[in-house]
Amino acid sequence: MRRFTEEDFRTRESAEKVLLDVLNPLKPYYSESCARLYVGNTSTHYENDTIPMESFARPLWGLVPFWTGGGSDPEFDEIYRKGLEAGPDPEHQDYWHTCRDYDQKFCEMAAIAFGMLFCPEKVWDPLSEKAKDNLTEWLWEINRHECCACNWQFFSIITNVALYKKGRPYDKERLREGLECIDAYYDAGGWYNDGNGGDKDYYNPFVMVTYGMVYARFMEKEDPERCRRFIERALAFGKDYIYWFSEDGSSFAYGRSMTYRFAQAAYFAVCALCEVEAFPLPVLKGILVRHLVHWLNLPIFDNADILTIGYAYPNLQMSESYNAPGSPYWAMKAFMFLGLPADHPFWQAEIAPLPQLEPKKYLEHANMLIQRGGGNVVALIPGRLQADGHSHTVEKYSKFAYSTRFGFSIMRSNVTLAECAPDSMLAFEAYGYFFVKDIIETDFEIDEDHVSFSWTPIKGIHVRTRIEPTQTGHVRIHEITSDVECRAYDCGFAVSTDDRRPFDRQENAVQSVVENKDGYCRVTSIEGAGEGKLLIPDPNTNLMNSKTTIPMAVYTIVPGTQTIRTKVDYL
Q: Do domains 6-348 and 361-569 have the same CATH topology?
A: no
For position 196, what pLDDT does the model report? 85
Residue 356: pLDDT over 80 = yes
Q: Check pLDDT > 80 for residue 389.
A: no
The rounded distance, in Å, linking the Cα atoms of 44 and 321 is 5
Provide the pLDDT for residue 376.
97
Report the pLDDT averaged over residues 523-536. Answer: 98
Q: Which residues are within 8 A (CB) of 454 and not within 5 positions of it... i.e. 6 or more apart? A: 440, 441, 443, 444, 462, 463, 464, 465
Q: Find the mean pLDDT for residues 450-461.
A: 98
pLDDT higher than 80, residue 333:
yes
Confidence class for position 266, pLDDT limits 50, 70, 90: very high
Q: What does the pLDDT look like over 93-131, one tens digit per residue?
A: 999 999 999 999 999 999 999 999 999 999 999 999 999
**Residue 180 scores a pLDDT above 80:** yes
| Gap between the Cα atoms of 571 and 564, Å rounded | 22
The rounded distance, in Å, linking the Cα atoms of 515 and 502 is 9
Tens-digit pLDDT profile for residues 125-174: 999 999 999 999 999 999 999 999 999 999 999 999 999 999 999 999 99
pLDDT digits (tens, 9 = 90+) for 63-91: 999 999 999 999 999 999 999 999 999 99
User: Is the Cα torsion angle 484, 465, 375, 532 positive or negative in sign?
Assistant: negative
pLDDT at 343: 96
Task: For residue range 277-298, list pLDDT tens digits in order.
Answer: 999 999 999 999 999 999 999 9
In this predicted structure, what is the pLDDT of residue 441? 96
Where do the domains of the chain lie?
6-348, 361-569
Name 518's Cβ contacts closer than 8 Å, sequence gap at least 6: 405, 496
CA distance 87 to 520: 51
What number is the average pLDDT over the span 191-218? Answer: 96
Q: For the residues 374-395, what does the mean pLDDT come to?
A: 92
pTM of the entire predicted model? 0.97
Share of the chain above pLDDT 70, in %: 100
Distance CA 149, CA 78 (A): 36
* pLDDT for position 310: 98
Question: How far is residue 105's CA from residue 95's CA, in Å, rounded to a whole number?
Answer: 12
pLDDT score, position 86: 98
What per-residue confidence (pLDDT) applies to 179?
Answer: 98
Q: What is the pLDDT of residue 197?
A: 83
Distance CA 94, CA 33 (A): 7
Cβ(253)–Cβ(408) under 8 Å?
yes
Confidence label for 328 from pLDDT (cuts 50, 70 and 90):
very high
Q: Is the pLDDT of residue 390 over 90?
A: no
Q: Residue 406's pLDDT is what?
A: 97
Rounded to whole angstroms, the Cα distance separating 217 from 68 reads 14
361-569, CATH topology level: Beta-galactosidase; Chain A, domain 5 (2.70.98)
The mean pLDDT value of the chain amounts to 97
Length of the chain measured in residues: 571
In the chain, the largest separation of any two C-alpha atoms, in whole Å, equals 77
Q: What topology is assigned to 6-348 in CATH?
A: Glycosyltransferase (1.50.10)
pLDDT-derived band at 515, boundaries 50, 70, 90: very high
